[in-house]
Every structure is written in structure tokens, then in C-alpha cells.
Amino acid sequence: MRIASLLPSATEVVCTLGLTDDLVGISHDCDFPPEIRGKPVLSRAIVTPELPSGAIDARIRAQVHRGQSVYHLDPEQLAGLRPDLILTQELCSVCAPSYTLVKQAAKVLEAETKIVSLEPLGLDDILDNIRLVGELSGRRAQADAIVWNLRARINRIRDGAARLPRVRVICI
């Protein structure tokens, strides 16, 4: 399978499932695990992190106001990589390349490419996304094992925290 991941968390899931070699492209924000270094980068932000925060904010606001993306996604590069599966998100068009931008860029692909939006809103959603990526990539058994191990860790932490004395906090 040929996978393009435009979301750092999805890239980590793909690699955790043992699919690093199947990863044909990543986003400019994907930086972990180290094994992905050297993978083709499909996106870039229109602003550079070297700019002062006020300038970044002004530029992003202007782009959003004009209805334009704050990211560039190279359709020709995407077409050259021929992904079978593109992992992205549609919760926030400022956080990562938007779903609309990804769909538009994917129009140049000759083969049928599945575009999947991962939108976790909580811990259970994250675990469900691991299972979904496992299912889509033919690694359901590995995904189930990963989720089982994560749930066991979560339960150990929850049980350990339940025995700790409560701390009173005020936030003003």
C-alpha cells in the first residue's frame, strides 16, 4: 500500500503499525519517528516560523479572510507518488492542510485514492483512529494489539491516580 500522511499524528500511527516503508509522503509538520526523515514532503505553510508571532497571525488572518488556504499542497508531487490512501483532517484548516485542499490536489491522481479524515475529539476517538488506519491498511490485528496495550496503560495510570490525594486548585 502507498500511504500519504498529511497529519503528524497519522504519520505516527502509520509507523507504529509497521508501515513506515509504505509511507510515500508526509506533511511539512511530520517529524517523528526519526525513520521518516527523507520522505517526500507534500505540503508547506505559507508563513515561516521565523516571522514574529504578530506577523504570522496577520498573514494567516488575511489568508483565511480571503478564503485561501494557509498551506500549499503540490498536486504534481502527489500524483507522482501515486498514494492509495491519503490521511488528513478536516477539523481545522489552520492546523494542517484542509480536507478541501487535499481533495482538490488529489484530483490529478489517475487511480482511485481513498482520502480519510481523522478527527479525534477525545482519547477514545484516538484509539478508534488507530483501529481505522489499521483496517484501511490491512493491519487490523496490529492495530487491535496496539489499542489493547494503550488501554491497559491508560487503566494503570487511572487506577494509580485514583489512589493519590486530591489537590485543591484555583485558577483565576
Q: Are 69 and 96 in contact (CB under 8 A)?
A: no
Task: Name beta bridge partners: 88.
Answer: 117
For the segment 6-54, what is each residue's pLDDT rounded down to a tens digit? Answer: 999 999 999 999 999 999 999 999 999 999 999 999 999 888 888 889 9
Q: Could you give phi then psi for residue 74, rounded to 5 degrees?
A: -85, 105
Band the pLDDT of 161: cuts 50, 70, 90: very high
**Assigned fold of 3-121:** Rossmann fold (3.40.50)
Reference 71, options 82, 60, 55, 56; nearest CA is: 60
Report which of residues 4 and 74 the model is more confident about. Answer: 4
pLDDT of the residue at 25: 97
pLDDT digits (tens, 9 = 90+) for 107-146: 888 778 999 999 999 999 999 999 999 999 999 999 999 9
The Cα–Cα gap between 13 and 166 comes to 34
Determine the pLDDT at residue 27.
Answer: 94
Q: Give pTM, 2 decimals.
A: 0.88
